[in-house]
Structures are given as C-alpha cells and as structure tokens.
Structure 1
Amino acid sequence: MSSKANQKKHIIVISYDAFSEDNWEMASKQPNLSKLIKNGAYTTKVKSVYPTLTYVIHATYVTGVYPNKHGVYHNNPFQPFVAEEDQSWHWFRRDIKVPTVYDEVTKRGMRVAGILWPVSGKASINYNIPEIKAIKNENQAIKILKNGSPIFSIGMELKYGRYRKGIEQPYLDDFSTMCAVDTIKHKKPNLLLLHLIELDEAKHALGTKGQHIDQAIQRMDKRLGDIMDAVEDAGIKENTTFIVVGDHGQLNVRYKVYLNRLLKDHGLIYEENGEMKWRAYVQGAGGAAYLHVKEGDLEAQKIALELLDQAREENCYGIESIFTRNDLDALHVDTKFHYMIEAKEGYAFADAYDEPIIVDLHERGIKYATHGYSPNKPNYTSALVISGEDIKNECELGDVEVIDIAPTIANILGIDFPNCDGRALTEIFKISVKL
C-alpha cells in the first residue's frame, strides 16, 4: 500500500528522450534542471530494457513490467520488405498487453494528459495528442483526431500549430511544450505525460557530442522552465512532483550492417514470381536485432545461425554476441524470440537486403548515432530527476530501472498498482515510508 503522507495531486512526467549519463555534467548546470535537482532526488544510473528502443521503454514506463509481459518488443511490428518510412509503429494502447498506470489514474476519477506520448493512440487519457504518424496516403491531422482527443487536439492546433513546422526540431518540441503549458494552466491534470524528442534526434543526426548537443540541452532547459512556470501560475506548485527521465543513451556509429543481405546471398531471402519472400529475416533494432525464422523451418534456422556465427567470428560485421533463449530470459525478452544479435559499439543493424552488407558511414560523410543496444553495455545508462516539496533535497539515488517509474507514479498519487516488476522509489521521500 502507498503512504498517504507522500501523496501529491499532480505529477508532471517529462520523457527527455536520449537524456543519458554523458549529458549530465552540462544539463545539471542549467538553471532550471539544477533547481529541480536541488529540490529533489536524482541519478545517472537508470538501467533500461532490451532492446533500448523508445516505444519498448515507454511501454515499460507506464506498466512497470518488462517487455516479455507488456508485449511491445520493438518500435515497429514485424513488417518484412516494407521500407522504414512506410512502416506502422506500435502507436496504439491496444499494443500494450497489461494495465497501465494511467488507466488506474483515470479509473480513480483523476485526469490524465498525454502530449506526444508513445503507444497511446486510443488510450484512456482525457487530454491526448498521441505520438502517431501518417504513412502512405494517410492525413496526419485526421489520424491524430481519430486516435487522440479530438476537441483537445483541435484546440491545441488552433492555438499553437503555427509554431510547428511538421516534425522538424526544435519546433516540434516547442509546440509540445506550449501544449503542456496550456494544459497545466487550464486543465490541471493529475498526471501529465510529455515526450520531448530533440536531443534524441540531434544525436541520431550528428553524433553524441558537439555544439548541436549543447544547444539541444540548453533549449530543453528553457522548456523545463516554461513548464515549471506554468505549474506555479496554475497554483499547484506545492502539490506537484516533477519526474524528468531519460529512456536510453546513444552510441556513435561508423558502420551500418545489413545482415539481410547476407541471408539473401545464401538463399534465405529470395524472389519468387516477382514477390520477395523469406525463410529467415533479421529485424534491425539499431544496436540489436531480432532473428525471425519461418515457423518449423529448422533448416533455415540452422543455416542462418551458421552464417551469423561465422560473421561474428570474422569480426568485421560488428556482431558482439548472438543471444540464445537463456540469454534472452535474463534480459526479459518476449518468449516468442529464440535468438537476438547484439552489435559492437560503433556498429548498428538495419533491415535492407539490397545494400552492401557493411556500409562505412564515415566514407559517405555521414555522422550518426543510435541506440537499441543491451542495457548492460558499459556507460550506457540514462538520467532521472524526481523533484517536489516532499522529495529529499539533492538526494543521489544510485541504481534504478525504468520499470520503477510506474510504481513510483502510483505511490505518489496514492493508488494501488500491483504486479509490477519494478518498485516504488520510496527512499526519495523526506518522510520515511513503510510498505
């Protein structure tokens, strides 16, 4: 049971995408985040889940369980031979197979807002602009209205849409922040879930270090300040807890590896009557990949594993490990997968079968970073700040996990949320808690 002494009426959860331990030195010195740290608990040792992909992690944030239970194993459902820009994502609440903390909050009659929160289409969120993208011939506005809160979404678009330039940054995060500020002031939700993406996109585009990162961190701090001011203007400061959390780190990549080209060269991917078919297929996840094998095709599995093991031994393909089911059990990966491939630092896996097996991005003049790697990679944790009136000041938390976010939210709001793999971080409170 949660302690009444530590309940607060409002929680602002800001998912600071790709906010990792290597950003801490600069970010923690910025004026607004430093205020939250001074009045709160923090750590740079947040362990993620495998693979370290945004939608997998955000489903974990709101459920408190590992991917083998909540069912979101990748950003994208498996769609062989579909170009990345045309693929569907796990956009919808129905993709999560277990209860979410925001479901429980709304059941208690409290209000929830979601601003570009992943895996939230058609969710039980009172004020919802889901993170969802039009593909092929779809209309973006209509897709948001159909899967979010129509009146709320239209209102935000009419007020702030002119500040956005599609999904281009920093304008998208500025728009999301304006929506959050407005929602805090006028709706005063008990739980607000906000996803801010600029830092992640900056790292993907130009690598993990440089002026582009410094500028993204500075802009992010301005957004934090705007949200903190909104809480004060709404008159709910004393009853609000802030949670600022990074979902994963990123690692710089020199080589993109297209393992499906290897499978195609050995007949496991082939064309038949003008249609591409597969017996084995690698679904890339950046620093990791899933091996899919047609059910019952033991020969294809044997050939694929031999090819991958030989590629691992040859050392130039960037394969650090081939995980078997025992390894995947320890990493809490969905039991329908029997094998995954882990990349070495400096390498990343992608799906295409018609590229060279190995592409040197530096030779093409491309800077790039990504995530997806095992959460056990060294120096690959993310950051967390929890701040509020009843939170210990400048309290260093040490090791925590992304599975701890949902039970901590539930504890602060005073609701029961059982069956989590994670735990409520009750050590953050000034008043001791006995559960």
Structure 2
Amino acid sequence: MTAFTKNMIVISFDCLAAIDYSLIETLPNFQRVFENGSFCKRVRTIYPSLTYPCHSTIVTGKYPKNHGVVNNTLIQPGSASPDWNWYRSAIEGTTLYDEAYKANLSNAALLWPVTAKAKSIQYNLPEIFANRPWQNQIVVSLLNGTASYQWELNKLYGYIRNGLSQPELDDFVLESTVHTILKKKPNLLLVHFTDLDTMRHDYGVHSQEAIDAIHRHDKRLGRILDALEESGQFSETTIIILGDHAALDENKAVNLNVHFSDQKLLTVNSKGKILDWKAYCKGCDGSAYIYLKDQENGAIKDKVEGILKNLMADPNNGIEKIITGKEAGKLGADPNCAFMIEAAYGFYFIEDHLGEFIKEVTEENRLSNPKFLRACHGYSPDKEDYQTFFLASGKGIQSRQEVPSMGLIDIGPTLAKLLGLDLGETDGQVIEQFLVSV
C-alpha cells in the first residue's frame, strides 16, 4: 500500500470539543496548523464516550464492542477504585502502532491509554497508575512500559510532576514529547494530554479553568511544532490534533446500586462490603451498563427492567432512556449488558452502593471525593452539542479543507492509509477529503 507519509505525530487533547473551535481557531499555535491544514469540527464520538474506549477506537477504527474496551474500568463490584483497562491485551485485534511496528516504523507513546505492556511500542510511557496502597507509581510505570526510556524521562523531567495533578502532569508530558522528537525521532508518536479534561471535570465545561487549559494546550502545541522544526522533520511529518469526546455540565450523581441494594439485588455485610450480587450498575458517567450475574435468569431481568422503568417515570431520578443489551450492541457498546441507561441532562451515574440514591454535587463533596464532578462525559453521541474535533496538517494532507462530518471510527483507517498501513476490517472508513491526490 502506498504511504503518504512515514512520520506522524498524533496529539490527543482529551475533551477537546466542537464547541472549542471558535476559541482554538484564534490561538497562535493552533493557527499554525490550521494555516495549511484540514479539519472537521463535528466528529461523532462513540458510545459510551469515555477516554479508554475512545482512544482504543482511534487506533483501531472499531466500535467498543469490536475492539473489546467497552468501559474505562473493569467490573469489580464494590471496589472503591476499580482497575482500569490499562493493558494493550484489552484491545482485540490489531492497532495503528502494531501495524507500524510490523512495517519497521518506530513507535513512541506518552500516556496513550490502553498501551501498558504493548510490545510493539519501542518508547512507551503508558497511562497506568498505582491503584493500591502498597503500589509505587514509578515502579508500576516502569514495569508496564519501556523502563530505560521512562527512567531517562523521569531523570530529566520528573521534578515537574506533582503526582497526577494538572497542569503539572501535562507539562511533564510536553517536555517528554519534545525530548522524544529531538532525541528518538520516532516515525509514529502518540501523545495524550488530559489538562482540559481534568479542568472540565473539576470546574465545568465553560469554566475559566477550562479556557485557561486550552490556552496552555496552545502553548504546548507551539513547543511541539518548534521541536519538529528544530529536528528537521517538520516538512516530512503529518500532524494530527484531535479530541476524543466532549463533556456536559451536571450536578447530581445517581447511585443506582444503592437502589439495587434496597431491592435485595446486592447482598452487603455489616461493614458495607458487597458479598454477592444479582444485578449491578457499572457506571460510565453519562451512561451506565446494567449487568446480571446470571444472564439467563429471566425473573431477575424482568425485575430489573421494572425497577428501571419505574425510576425513569420520575424525571428527578435522572434516567433519560433505557435500552437492551442487544440495542446497546447495535450502537457499538457492550452487547453483554442486560440494559444500558442514559443520564438526563444534569445527571451522571456512579457505582457507589452505600449512601444516598441521588447525591447533590456540592463544593464540599467535590473537593473531598474525586467521584463528584462538575462535568463529565460517557453520554450518548446523540446528545446536543456533544461532538468532538479533528485537525490534520503537513505531509499527505490537503490544504484548507473542511470535512462537514465524520466519526471517531474514521480516524484509524484514515491515519493508517496515510502511513501506508492496513488495519484490516474496521467500522470506519478513510476520509479521502483529507488526503492529497496521488
């Protein structure tokens, strides 16, 4: 297959949305990319629109049900902090970086989701965190990525970080990206920045903190573009800038497992630990999966459906829509759930099985518990003003084209074609309008 480019950097600004276009088009370093680039400001995300499923879709061109990463976190009923889908093994089938490796193109990834223990990434700083009290963050990272590369980055730039806090984490990623461009010169570089996503979660979609994060991203982008120029690779590199999902403001957390516990669908001991369960609400923030422990138990399924319908009848309970697992599969989500529910505007779902069924998000509980958010995602891509964004420039890219609409599933096949790679059967298609004529 003919390649349009042999060098590509993919910059994911987590939670960059269509609504941000009017701001970013005015910023100096985004303008450097827009000048000769092409873009789509109405990119349809996936369901559920969460970071790990989205980034798996970006590198596979598939819906969650087909690449296997159907949620950020694993089903671990009762766990205060479920483990995430950190590992490359969670993705079924091939990825953009796997195919690049097969084609003898070098790879680097900086905090790109679902890449822990990825054998096809030569320079890998995976997004994985110490999730248990006895774990050490540096050790966990070293064991799951490229140890020598990470040690090098931490020695040079580790002082910048403040745990997982933003904007320090993205500032560390930026310096690591610049270093990687100048010293490693990978053919394919995947970079994930989360500053904007964090600020929207903590302060709201349109908050000043979110606006400030976009301005910081513009400065980060400028540093990356300067590094490409300094390395002599700028004219031979394809630059991809994208978001993965949007976000919506909310102020009410729905703890459906509290209701399931009251209905004897969860068995909890005197210390609040789940001993057994018949039905479980697995939160996806703006949506949620409802799983049955015994999928063949029709009586339990009927009972759960009745509970959900009764709750939905009252708008104050925050359930906008209920669909079956089969219907969820048709939308690209996990067909193995019994039901999938969508949150109404102003609501989102969490997994707590103790406390109040509906919890108001206040400044006090938001600061004391990271589960309480000012804005979140995970909602249906059909929600209004909920599109994300895509921008491409450089080698192999048409100049100044606006594609009216596309899907997140289309990114993988398009990037693969640019690199002369084949992802096999995908759910998306190549957006030819972005590509120069051969």
TM over 0.5: yes
Aligned to 2:263: 266
State the 1:365 CA deviation: 7.7
Task: Say if 2:301 and 2:338, in contact at 8 Å, map to a contact too.
Answer: no
Cα shift at 1:336: 1.4
- Higher alpha-carbon deviation: 240-249 or 206-215: 206-215
Task: Say which of 54, 66, 82 aligns to 1:69.
Answer: 66
Structure 2 contact 287–343 (Cα < 8 Å) conserved:
yes
1:213 aligns to what? 210
What residue is the counterpart of 2:312 in the other structure? 312
Deviations 1:348-379 (A, max 9, x none): 00010112111122586856000000111111
* Preserved contact between residue 256 and residue 359 of structure 1 (Cα < 8 Å): yes
Q: Which residue of 1 aligns with 2:426?
A: 420
In structure 1, the residue corresponding to 2:39 is in which secondary structure?
strand
TM-score (norm 2): 0.94
Aligned counterparts, 1:146-185, within 5 A: 146-185=143-182
Distance 1:323 1:362 in 2: 30
Q: Which residue of 80, 88, 92 corresponds with 2:87? A: 92
Amino acid at match of 2:157: Y
Q: Please point out which of 241, 246, 251 is paired with 2:243.
A: 246
TM-superposed CA distance for 1:77, in Å, is: 0.9
Equivalent position of 2:370 in the other structure: none
1:272, CA displacement in angstroms? 5.3
Give the counterpart of 1:133 among 129, 135, 139. 129
Does the 8 A contact of 2:323 with 2:339 survive in 1? yes
| Matched position secondary structure for 1:396 | coil
Deviates more, 1:273-282 or 1:341-350: 273-282
Alignment of 1:302-381 (within 5 A): 302-362=302-362, 368-381=374-387
Q: Select 1:112's aligned residue among 107, 111, 116.
A: 107
| Alpha-carbon separation, structure 2, partners of 1:363 and 1:215 | 20
Matched-pair contact (CA < 8 Å) for 1:279–1:297 = no
How big is each residue's C-alpha offset from its partner over 1:372-422, in whole Å with a ceiling of 9 and x where there is no partner?
001111110001100114422221111111111211121111122221111
Q: Say if 1:363 and 1:111 are closer, same or farther in 2 by CA, change over 3 A.
A: closer
TM-score computed with the length of structure 1 as normaliser: 0.95
Q: For residue 317 of structure 2, give the secondary structure of its aligned residue in structure 1.
A: coil
Q: Say whether the 8 Å CA contact 1:164–1:175 is kept in structure 2.
A: yes
* Contiguous gaps of at least 5 residues in structure 2: 367-372
In 1: Cα distance, 2:189 partner to 2:16 partner: 19
* Deviation by residue 1:306-345 (Cα, 9 ceiling, x = unmatched): 1111000111111010011343133112321231010011
After superposition, what is the alpha-carbon deviation per residue over 1:274-312, rounded to whole angstroms, capped at 9, x for unaligned? 752211110111000000112133222222111111000
Q: Say if 2:289 is the partner of 1:290.
A: yes
Quick check: 1:391–1:428 contact (8 Å CA) kept in 2? Answer: yes
**Cα separation, 1, equivalents of 2:207 and 2:94:** 40
Runs of 4+ in structure 1 off by over 4 angstroms are 272-275, 362-367
Could you tell me whether the CA contact under 8 Å between 2:325 and 2:336 is conserved in 1? no
Q: Which runs of 5 or more residues in structure 1 are unaligned?
A: none
Which stretch shifts more, 147-156 or 298-307? 298-307
1:325, 1:181 → 2: CA distance? Answer: 44
Render the CA deviation track for 1:87-108: whole Å, top value 9, x for unaligned.
Answer: 2100000011111111010111
Q: Tell me, in whole angstroms, the C-alpha distance in 2 between the residues paired with 1:412 and 1:430.
A: 10
**Pairwise CA distance, 1:214:** 1.6
Aligned partner of residue 313 in structure 2, secondary structure = helix
Q: Which whole-Å CA distance do the structure 1 matches of 2:399 and 2:32 have between them?
A: 10
Offset from partner CA, 1:199-237 (integer Å, 9 cap, x none): 000000010112111210110000000100111111111
The amino acid that maps onto 1:419 is: E
3-state SS of the aligned residue for 1:144? helix
Q: Which amino acid aligns with 1:39?
A: N
Q: Report Cα offsets for 1:50-79 as digits up to 9, x if no partner.
A: 100000111111111111111001000101
| Cα pair 1:39 1:389 within 8 Å, conserved | no
d(CA) in 2 for partners of 1:272, 1:212: 42
SS of alignment partner, residue 267 of structure 2: strand
What's the CA shift for 1:156? 0.5
In 2: Cα distance, 1:91 partner to 1:60 partner: 15
* 3-state SS of paired residue (2:353): coil
Structure 1 match to 2:436: 430
Would the aligned equivalents of 2:74 and 2:85 in 1 still touch at CA under 8 Å?
Answer: yes
